[in-house]
Structure 1
Amino acid sequence: MQRDEEEQPLSGGNVSAGVVRVGNTVRRPAGPWTPSVHALLTHLHEVGFEAAPRPLGLDDRGREVLTFAPGHVVWPDRFSLLEPDRRLARVARLIRDFHDAVQGFVPPADARWQVLVPVGEQAGGPGEENEIIAHHDLAPWNLVADDGDRWTFIDWDTAAPGTRLWDVAYAVHGFLPLSARPGLRRADAVGRLRVFADAYGLDEAGRRTLVPLLGRRTRAMHDFLRDRAGRGDQPWSALWAQGHGGIWRDDAEYIERREALWERALLDG
């Protein structure tokens, strides 16, 4: 490796061990799912969706290589980039663009995916869990914004079969946010939920299905951390010990208690 391409560890998010920048690339530990994820990213760029890194194969150490997304991760220090509501609407449209772009993706015959939180019956109906290859972690901690007008979603390693609304429910939780914590709780959550749904282009059926998914998707994260911590799996055990499970549980309870409010926001003219 050349001297001007020294490795710079990258932080951010909750799972960043072994992630480094080398020049204009990012190197990450690869897994059995990496070829499938790279096929997905290649497809997205081929159909014109550019808000994702380009895959560049593997390096001589077996790490996956991706283009580096310049800018800063939105969460937690630059959440103001999602203000005013027109920027929240932009996030929703970007997610819709991804979902439309991935619709035509045909996974490799031997595709393998890293499935952390199975969708299953929680998706809203039998057989819907394979609607698309979803991102599964569309959140402000995975959105990079530069000083101009470029936004990029990163951390695609947990992309896997899922549904549009499973992705949307998770994104709504993080980008509005729908949080029980006093410092994050939004008095304008109802209005922001409507802005997000309108910008994404949710029809009435989608809105009705989304309402109960808001709580289910959030609670699924609590259950995932609880189960993985119970098995001693890292880094999930450490996150559970740090209280992340309790945060997801409290947020789920906050969302579930207000389900009628979210329904009025999305369905009343």
Structure 2
Amino acid sequence: MTHQPQQSPQFFLTAPSPCPYLEGQMERKVFTHLIGDKAAEINDLLTQGGFRRSQNIAYRPACENCRACVSVRIVVQDFKMTRNMKRVWQHNRDLIGRPQGAHPSTEQYALFRDYLDARHHAGGMSDMTVLDYAMMVEDTHVDTKVIEYRKRGPESFMDPKNDGELVAAALTDVMSDGLSMVYSFFSPHMPERSLGTFMILDHIERARAAGLPYVYLGYWVEGSRKMRYKTRFTPQEHLTANGWKRYEG
């Protein structure tokens, strides 16, 4: 008898654990492995169905008594910056964003560590080591980039090595219909730059230039202060029980 390889992903359910977004709630996730030559195709389909990627795992909430997590994607073609977003964009004109392969560096980890210690010191990622960070970046079977944002130096256009210090980075999946921002981090010592907002704006422009219709931001949770920023980037679409629905804010 010939063995036929498994073509369809197998899904598993996690045990309940405390929700990181809503106090008093418990969360469960359904997940599958993203491996093999169909990983990118499966990741596209699952992301369009509300899943997120973490290393070689695609997951989505499967909570028994809560449906607060809503998948969000920005509609690139119709997006227009607000006045405040234009100010953020102008303020960061001295930054250069360069896509790299999914290769971690000690410089990235130092910035990542600085970001976690300042912004998420009590979070689930707070004890990540340099090896954990390397796995987060490298363990991918899809088209993943690390977009590094550096201060523009006087020789930047002639010699990329003179781009200056790394101030922000985004781990981004390139999909058939958009860019998925898997994880981003930035220097916590430059609040005037609003680097988190800038990176989303930059991804919108990158998607527009590539002819991709969406930028996927992951989950928005109504009532969660840390998720509130995501609904500022309109128009966007939210995934509902009846498919993706337009949201204007």
Report TM bin, short chain. Answer: under 0.3
Name the one with the larger strand percent: 2
Higher relative contact order (CA 8 A, sep 6+): 2
Name the one with the larger helix percent: 1
TM-score by length of 2: 0.26
